[in-house]
Amino acid sequence: MARNRNDNRYSGRKKKSPMRVIFGWVMFIGVFLMLLFVLVPLVGATMKVTDGAMGPTLGIGDTVAVNHIAYALFRPKRGDIVQFSVSEDSHAAAAQAGTVYIRRVIALPGETIQIMDGTVYINGYPLKEEYASGATAYGGIVASQLTLNNDEYFVMADNRSNNFDSRDSTVGPILRDDILGKVWLRVLPLDKFGRLK
């Protein structure tokens, strides 16, 4: 007797028990966390955000993963979030030398940057910045045009009311050698886990 096509009494696949599904998810999460906390230190490190300079992209208390080998192969790009230190031979005050910061790359080597009427201009063209919050009222050293050297990058905080970035004469443009790595992943809190843009 031919089986009715609409007869649902038989299925080619067995249904998984709820315990097997839960066990599968627990195993997946366990392996994922193990890989995360084993592999991340191999290519970089984690860092806890201690100020609101990168808000709303990053909040105080967020933990991020920093890839320390990313720029061994590639140069930093505009829009990258980077970890850098202020070197002793830069413009920094002695108290800031060696301190590590997280900021976003805004201008690249050889480019001309200026902040005018609250807008960032790169080579005379306004820069679209969907990540920025607050008014860019402070122009600092780029209130007039500044052309970067071949090994300099201009970095800024996403929260533009926090002006401790390349606009400040005690930081200024940062050198390629001062960039420690690319901040690419938010690890904690888990409900905000994900790749950073």
Please indicate whether residue 144 or residue 5 has the higher confidence score (pLDDT).
144
The pLDDT of residue 97 = 56
| Count of other CB atoms within 10 angstroms of residue 127 | 16
pLDDT of residue 36: 60
Separation CA 108–CA 102 (nearest Å): 17
pLDDT at 125 over 80: yes
For the cut 90, the answer to whether the pLDDT of residue 187 exceeds it is: no
pLDDT at 76: 96
pLDDT above 70 for 38 = no
pLDDT at 8 > cutoff 80: no
Query: Which segment of 34-43, 51-60, 174-183 scores lowest on mean pLDDT?
Result: 34-43
% of the chain residues with pLDDT over 90 = 50
- Band (146; pLDDT cuts 50, 70, 90): very high
Q: Which two tokens stand for residue 12?
A: 């080619």
Residue 82 and residue 104 in contact, taking contact as beta carbons nearer than 8 Å: yes
Q: Is the pLDDT of residue 57 over 90?
A: yes
Residue located via tokens 């970089």: 44
Cα–Cα dist 38/139, whole Å: 42
Q: pLDDT band at 90, cuts 50/70/90?
A: low
Question: Which residues are CB-contacts of 166 (< 8 A; sequence separation ≥ 6)?
Answer: 103, 106, 140, 141, 142, 153, 154, 155, 156, 172, 173, 174
For 69, residues 6+ apart whose C-beta sits below 8 A from its C-beta are 43, 44, 181
Instruction: Work out the average pLDDT over 71-89.
Output: 87
